[in-house]
């Protein structure tokens, strides 16, 4: 079917290729017109603006927004609300906060526009070759575009999760779990690194990927990473984070739920952003105060 794609970054570009492979008619726009040109060469119809993109779609129009969550997504959706009409469908495939999606669904509904909040997992490779999507919003609107998800996802790789917000909520929690699994794997390798034994981490990850209880895609990626840099000597252990892990913890707090593993996974990421901590200084100063323990001077 025909659909517009707004945003041709890492995810949007791969998604567009995936859609073209599956014989969908893609009208594509990005502020970076180079990316538009490149995808046009692969068969997409290029658009010079959001308005241009909308004008090139036939009704009911379907627009997939794949731009960074936050203000950029907001601006695109505000613009789309002006340009679209009743029964048109907007899909937000980015990592938006589900509370924003709830609000946006309500706002677009005022204009009769359907809004689907779609969490996407699987990374760039998934976007290109088959991803996993979790979809929230109006069930009939979903049915209208279901074929898209059938085509771009791996088998059994999409789920209509329920009413508005439920798609991004599920993606949020998915990422919370991901943080915990990654930290668990990483802690394990840190123990190995400090252990009295001399392990080959790539081989360890490989054997764990074959028959063990902890075999997983993340462990496969671990194997890949070690195959490129056996001891990860080339990089620093700085753990950035986007918003979903934090949102999961905030949601857990709002629900009065104990999620220590997800919370600590996040906090250890924050800790990794710093060379030194004020917490550490206070504790060191206190040890010096009561026990005369020496401190490390700067």
Interatomic CA distance for residues 215 and 151, integer angstroms: 27
Nearer to a copy of itself, 62 or 132 (CB): 132
Minimal distance in Å, beta carbon 46 to a copy of itself? 24
Size of the site for a copy of itself (CB under 8 A): 132
Pick one of 17, 36, 166, 244: the residue that binds a copy of itself (CB under 8 A).
166
Minimal distance in Å, beta carbon 95 to a copy of itself? 11
Under the criterion CB under 8 A, does residue 249 sit at the interface with a copy of itself? yes
Under the criterion CB under 8 A, does residue 143 sit at the interface with a copy of itself? no
Under the criterion CB under 8 A, does residue 146 sit at the interface with a copy of itself? no
How far is CA 154 from each of CA 9, 122, 125, rounded to the nearest angstrom?
A: 21, 10, 12
**Beta-bridge mates of residue 120:** 133
Q: Edge-to-edge strand order for the sheet containing 153-162?
A: 45-46, 25-29, 2-6, 62-65, 89-92, 114-121, 131-136, 153-162
Q: Which stretch binds a copy of itself (CB under 8 A): 54-62, 72-80, 107-115, 254-262?
A: 254-262
Interatomic CA distance for residues 57 and 72, integer angstroms: 22
* x-marked contacts with a copy of itself along 263-292 as a string, rule CB under 8 A: xxxxxxxxxxx-xxxxxxxxxxxxxxxxxx
Tell me which of 171, 223, 244, 246 is the catalytic residue. 171
Specify whether 171 is catalytic. yes
Task: Report residue 266 as tokens.
Answer: 């996040």
Nearer to a copy of itself, 89 or 249 (CB): 249
CA 52, 57, 60, 66 dihedral sign is: negative
Under the criterion CB under 8 A, does residue 10 sit at the interface with a copy of itself? yes
**Beta-bridge mates of residue 158:** 133
Q: Which residues contact 33 (CB under 8 A, 6 or more apart)?
A: 46, 48
Tell me which of 107, 178, 202, 250 is the catalytic residue. 178
* x-marked contacts with a copy of itself along 206-245 as a string, rule CB under 8 A: xxxxxxxxxxxxxx-xx-xx---x--xxxxxxxxx-----
Pick one of 79, 161, 230, 244: the residue that binds a copy of itself (CB under 8 A).
161
Pick one of 51, 72, 83, 261: the residue that binds a copy of itself (CB under 8 A).
261
Task: DSSP for 72-99, please give it.
Answer: HHHHHHHHHHHH--TT-EEEE-S---HH
For residues 24 and 4, the answer to whether their CB atoms sit within 8 Å is no
Task: Report residue 9 as tokens.
Answer: 């970054």
Under the criterion CB under 8 A, does residue 16 sit at the interface with a copy of itself? no
Minimal distance in Å, beta carbon 35 to a copy of itself? 15
The residues that are catalytic are: 171, 178
């Amino acid at each position: 079917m025909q659909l517009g794609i707004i945003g041709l970054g890492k995810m949007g570009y791969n998604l567009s290729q995936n859609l073209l492979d599956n014989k969908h008619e893609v009208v594509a726009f990005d502020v970076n017109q180079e990316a538009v040109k490149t995808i046009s060469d692969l068969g997409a119809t290029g658009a010079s603006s959001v308005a241009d993109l909308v004008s090139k779609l036939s009704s009911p129009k379907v627009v997939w927004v794949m731009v960074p969550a936050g203000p950029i997504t907001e601006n695109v959706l505000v613009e789309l609300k002006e340009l679209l009409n009743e029964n048109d469908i907007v899909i937000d495939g980015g990592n938006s906060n589900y509370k924003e999606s709830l609000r946006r669904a309500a706002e677009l509904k005022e204009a009769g526009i359907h809004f689907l909040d779609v969490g996407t997992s699987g990374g760039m490779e998934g976007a290109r070759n088959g991803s996993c999507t979790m979809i929230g919003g109006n069930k009939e609107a979903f049915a209208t575009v279901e074929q898209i998800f059938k085509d771009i996802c791996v088998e059994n790789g999409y789920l209509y999760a329920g009413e508005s917000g439920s798609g991004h909520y599920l993606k949020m929690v998915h990422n919370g779990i991901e943080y915990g699994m990654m930290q668990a794997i990483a802690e394990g390798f840190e123990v190995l690194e400090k252990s009295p034994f001399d392990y080959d981490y790539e081989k360890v990850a490989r054997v764990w990927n074959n028959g063990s209880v902890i075999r997983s895609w993340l462990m496969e990626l671990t194997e890949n990473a070690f195959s490129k840099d056996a001891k990860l000597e080339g990089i620093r252990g700085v753990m950035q984070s986007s918003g979903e892990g934090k949102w999961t913890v905030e949601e857990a707090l709002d629900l009065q739920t104990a999620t220590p593993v997800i919370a600590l996974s996040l906090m250890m990421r924050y800790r990794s952003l710093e060379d030194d901590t004020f917490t550490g200084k206070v504790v060191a100063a206190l040890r010096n105060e009561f026990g005369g323990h020496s401190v490390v001077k700067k």
